[in-house]
Amino acid sequence: MADSEAPSIAQNPDIRYLGKLLGDVIRAYGGDALFRRIEYIRSASVDRARGVEGEIDSGLEALGLDDMLAFTRGFMLFSMLANLAEDRQGVAADPEADLAAAIARVGDKQTVAALLDKGLIVPVLTAHPTEVRRKSMIDHRNHIADLMRLRDTGATVTPDGDVIEEALIRQIALLWQTRPLRREKLVVADEVGTALSYLRDIFLPVMPALYAQWERLLGARPKSFLRAGSWIGGDRDGNPFVTADSLRLALGQSAEAVLSHYCDLLHALGAELSISTELAAVTPEVEALADKAHDESPARSDEPYRRAITGIYARTAATYQTLTGKAPSRPAAISAEPYRKPSELRADLVAIAHALAAGGGATLASGGALGRLIRAVETFGFHLATLDLRQNSDVHERVVAELLKEAGVDGDYAALDEEARVALLRKELASPRPLKSPHIAYSDETRSELEIVDAAAEAHRRYGAQAITTYIISKTATLSDLLEVDILLKEAGLFRPGTPPTADIMVVPLFETIEDLEHGPAIMSAYFALPEVAARVSVRGHQEVMVGYSDSNKDGGYLTSVWSLNEASRALKPVFEAAGTSMQLFHGRGGAVGRGGGSAFAAIAAQPQGTVEGRIRITEQGEVIAAKYGTRQAASVNLEAIVAATVVTSLAPVRTRDEEHFHIAMRTLSKTAFRSYRGLVYETEGFRRFFRQFTPIEEIAGLKIGSRPASRTKSDAIEDLRAIPWVFSWAQTRVMLPGWYGTGAAFATFGDIGLLRSMAAEWPFFQTTLANLEMVLAKSDMAIADHYLALVEPQYRPIFDGIRDGWHQARDCLLTITGQSRLLERTPSLDASVRLRLPYIEPLNLLQIELIRRHRAGESDPRIAEGIQLSINAIATALRNSG
């Protein structure tokens, strides 16, 4: 914020420039005295980071509560602007993360084009609550990014006539004066609206543009393999506020957004295609479209393309009216019948493209607004983003048990063993008889679940089959868990008995604990062994399995989690080969390393050979969504990275000489790490109390950052706590325990350092595992964490000694394996990024501790609670991938 910055800041002129503007804003709007106090703390903290002796406590102690809030906002905004500057320079980007590099690595465009033509790559937006910033803050941040891009061109004035630097100061001043915290808890409708803003403003324009670029690169036009997905409005696991109404809201608003977009593009296309029959021939198909429009305007009598577009626009506008119940913002000039499905709209547009091509205008046919619109309709349909359904298997068991009981089926389903359950479910699935009756009053839970599948069937009728394609089952542990969902789908007509039976929605198991991942291959083998399932899967050609990073990590620790996911993926491959169907893995990753975070390109590239094959889905959640898809430029880079990684992993995987030997070593490491992690988290007496006193978990639960409760039950057990607040709270204290604990014990007791070094040099899986481990160790700070012991009762404090020893052991072992003298020595850009933030996080941690101490002591000043939540916000912003 001042002119004399740490060397790492000076290396990035954007950070230096934006920091200076922020300092000017604080001085102008907060006063010179506040600026000097903040600057004193900042300078002292920077000096400490450089190794200069000094104390920052005296500066913090001099702050009153109002100044504490202002100070915290200032440091939070600096971190936000630093993130923006780094994103612009692609600090975390992989130089190979584009399709051109992937094609060069594969060596054959045709092979890549063929893979993508039958592939499916889907980033899936979820509402998992780790994004602490209000959307207003993110919007201002994006305006600053746009202005900085304009400044890059050498311009000094915006197209609207504003001086760019003044416009930047204006946006930073708005940030300074925008309330960072939400006053009200988010509801599902808020989350739907936030996701929709990304889908509408980013994905809709960016993906067709990327396709056009890839078509030129490939020399071919693949099918729409890259699509958008969402859980928001359909993910009911542990969220009682997601209902059939939420599902309708999400789908209805998505349809409104995408059809409005089509109307806008058609309007622009009508203005563009001014071709006259006096100067160009036209095909009978376009003549037919033009005649069908009944556009009697004399001005367009010799312009069949415009008349055809008038008709297409009228049908699209009628579709908008039918699906949304509203009139479009620009009414149609004529009345027309709505399109029944997206393929009808696409067929009309393709007819125009073919006519343009027949007239010698290949450029007119394939590019511009028409090409983008055809691609958009293929990719987004009338639904915009495919919405997944998700619910916990325990809920399905209770609902099916009630349906069977009320239908008079003999026996108590819940009391049956697994073999008897499967036999009963298969019998019911073979029968056309429904179980539900309109004359029975079901429990609220059962009624709600039946309403969901009915709403899904309605969505298929209204928006098309792509609106909802999968139903994910959390906590899948048995074969009956899969068949129970088919029972529910059958009640809505989405599953139909027959030879073979047919299903409009694919049932997808989610294996998320260590035990579930181990049992997953056996469950899928039993599933495929059912003749009626084998026939259905054969027709579809693929089956999806979801693997969960968050809960497996909370269950078994970082090293065991990543290895269990790898082993489960490899073990599933022969099961799918034996079934003669393609495997589609859905990776439930989060932002933090403890939840599968890190480089998406590296993560995909490190997948076991033969487990991707052009098909992959990945969750994008929390603060990661804003970071990766907050601007069109960022979205283009990240979407292409996912595609490039999928191509490389599918067609040019790195082969290691001694992979089976490496696997044996990883099994040993995993077992040791598992024992170490479980010993601390689940077997150490008093750990639960230590965790809740040491971290701001209770204060995080008060943040209004999501519609879903922090725990699945009212229990305070670690097992019942959701993985997100578990990881998020450890990040706040700078311990980052879920991202590393247990690795030190595993490496230290392994004994063969030469083998570990060979694994690090030759094996992409181990390289990615160590890279993410190194990043999280670098972001940890045991000296800062030590201050949080002031919040802990004396009898629990020795637990921290073991954690601190484990961190030092993990760091020392990692440095030995990688041959470095310090963390991030070989990744200077990431090292500079982490070091830049350290001086700005330490004062925030110290303030947070003091405010939590006062809050837990019973002080009632509302500014204390606000300060705690602001500090949580600021620390998360500085750490970036904290949840």
- Enzyme catalytic residues: 128, 554
- CA–CA dist 282, 294 (Å, integer): 17
Tally Cβ neighbours within 10 Å of residue 381.
Answer: 25
Tell me how far the alpha carbon of residue 803 is from its chain's centroid. Answer: 30
Polymer length in residues for the chain: 883
Four-residue CA torsion sign, 793, 794, 796, 798: positive
Strand blocks (E) in 504-612? 506-511, 542-548, 582-588
Q: What angle do CA 479, 481, 484 make, to 5 degrees?
A: 115
Is the CB of residue 710 less than 8 Å from the CB of residue 722? yes
Q: Answer yes or no: are the C-beta atoms of 523 and 476 closer than 8 Å.
A: yes
Which of 41, 58, 61, 26 lies closest to 851 in space, CA to CA? 61
Give me the residue label for tokens 């996911």.
565
624 touches 634 (CB < 8 A) = no
Bridge-based pairing of strands 229-230 and 386-387 is parallel
Residue 867 identity? G
Q: Which of 451, 521, 599 is nearest to 96 (CA)?
A: 599
Our CA dihedral for 263, 269, 271, 272, rounded to 10 degrees, sits at 170
Distance of CA 496 to the CA centre of its chain: 33
The SS3 assignment for 506 reads strand
225-250 burial, b at 16+ Cβ within 10 Å, e below that, comes to: bbbbbbbbbbbbbbbebbbbebbebb
Helix, strand, coil in percent for the chain, rounding step 5: 65, 5, 30
Q: What is the 3-state secondary structure (H, E, C) of 478-513?
A: CHHHHHHHHHHHHHCCCEECCCCCEECCEEEEEECC
> In this structure, are residues 126 and 231 in contact, taking their beta carbons and an 8 Å threshold?
yes
Amino acid 359 reads G
Amino acid at 113: A
Token readout for 674 is 């598992």
Q: Which residue has the tokens 């059809």?
A: 259
Q: What backbone phi and psi angles, to 5 degrees, belong to 619?
A: -75, 145
- As a whole number of Å, the CA-based R_g of the chain is 28
How buried is 683 (Cβ within 10 angstroms: 0-12 exposed, 13-18 middle, 19+ buried)?
exposed
Q: Shortest CA distance to 594 belongs to which of 420, 712, 414, 727?
A: 727
3-state DSSP call for residue 226?
strand
| Pairwise CA distance, residues 299 & 295, whole Å | 10
How many whole angstroms separate alpha carbon 104 and alpha carbon 117? Answer: 18
Distance separating alpha carbons of residues 619 and 21, to the nearest angstrom: 36
